Structure 1
Amino acid sequence: MDSTDIQQFYARHMQLLDGGEAGAWAATFTPDATFASPSMTEPVRGREGIAAGARAAAEGRAAAGEVHRHWVTMTTARSTADGIEAVSCVQILATPRGGAPRVHLSCVMRDRLVRRDGELLVAERHITRDDRPDEGVDRASSGRQ
């Protein structure tokens, strides 16, 4: 496991998302990936569903006149039998057209990364939000995985 590869993966991954490149961003997930977030009633499964969600989010940001930037920080990674477990803190900055940036969300992102043909891909993603107390104590900050 190379931490530089993981950092570069997340940099490219989030630049695609923030740039509105939904299809290219979804291609950084495995074809059968799952994506779970508190804003969803059910996890999204597969690249097509992940791309559709990213397109809808990009359209919403454009309609609101906002640019979002995902800042992935404090990533820890460990090899497991079925890939790499990566846990990161993510802050989403929102900047309205002509306005000042603000922190939109603060989250923890838990990924299972896998290598396919030499490339890192997300096989599973689970997001928790810091503003949702009903999600319980954040395991990343408490040292439990």
Structure 2
Amino acid sequence: MTSTTTVTELYAAVQLHYARQVQLLDGCRFAEYAATFTADGEFQHTPGQPAAHGHDGITAELTRFNKRFDNDPVQRRHWFNMIDVRPREDGLLDTTFYALVLTTRPGVKEPVVGPSCLVRDVLAFEDGELRNRSRQVHHDQMS
């Protein structure tokens, strides 16, 4: 981010980052999703489970987590909303947002909504692109 970047431009960049990121996640393109993190990025998404670290660790964790859908023709969609972006003096960005996961199965009329989560990210600009340094997902039903 440069000093001439406006709040609107920054917010749009964050939303674009998240739009690309969740489409990779929902498309089960886990290595590409992991590449949206810094090389030493941390990803913690399941309560009580340790965080995954680095591109290989994040890819492995998502592959493991999604094995439960191998024989289930499910489509999951992550919906990020109410994004709050707070620039830090060191150039990093703290973001907080709500996430819902919608699960749809063929032949089932209504999707299942849940979990509902609060997500806290630290984002960094690398080579002009936003990347996650960390993601902490807090499930509302666990609070």
Runs (5+) with no aligned partner, structure 1? 134-145
- Post-superposition shift, 1:58? 3.5
* Residues 70 and 90, structure 1, Cα contact 8 Å, conserved in 2: yes
Unaligned runs of 5+ in 2: none
The CA distance in 2 between the partners of 1:77 and 1:12, in whole Å, is 17
> CA shift at 1:43, angstroms?
1.4
- The residue aligned with 2:115 is 105
2:82 is the alignment partner of 1:74: yes
Taking structure 2 as the reference length, the TM-score comes to 0.86
- 1:19 is matched with 27
> Is 1:118 paired with 2:128?
yes
Say whether the 8 Å CA contact 2:42–2:54 is kept in structure 1. yes
- The amino acid of 2:142's aligned partner reads R
How much has 1:9 moved relative to structure 2?
A: 0.6
Structure 1 residue 82, shift from structure 2 partner = 4.9
**Which of 75, 83, 103 does residue 92 from structure 2 map onto?**
83
Separation (CA, whole Å) in 2 of partners of 1:45 and 1:121: 14
Match of 1:141 in 2: none
1:51 corresponds to 2:59? yes
Structure 1 contact 108–128 (Cα < 8 Å) conserved: yes
Q: Which amino acid aligns with 1:103?
A: V
Per-residue displacement from partner, 1:24-64 (whole Å, max 9, x unpaired)? 10000011011123435211111111011222333322422
1:63 aligns with 2:60: no
Cross-structure match for 2:137:
127
Name which of structure 1's ranges 90-99 and 37-46 shifts more when overlaid on structure 2: 37-46
**Quick check: 12-21 or 47-56, which moved more?**
47-56
Letter in 1 for 2:63: R
Retained in 1: the 8 A contact 2:47–2:138?
Answer: no
Aligned to 2:47: 39
Between 12-21 and 99-108, report the one with greater CA deviation.
99-108
Q: Match of 1:3?
A: 11
Question: Alignment identity in percent?
Answer: 31
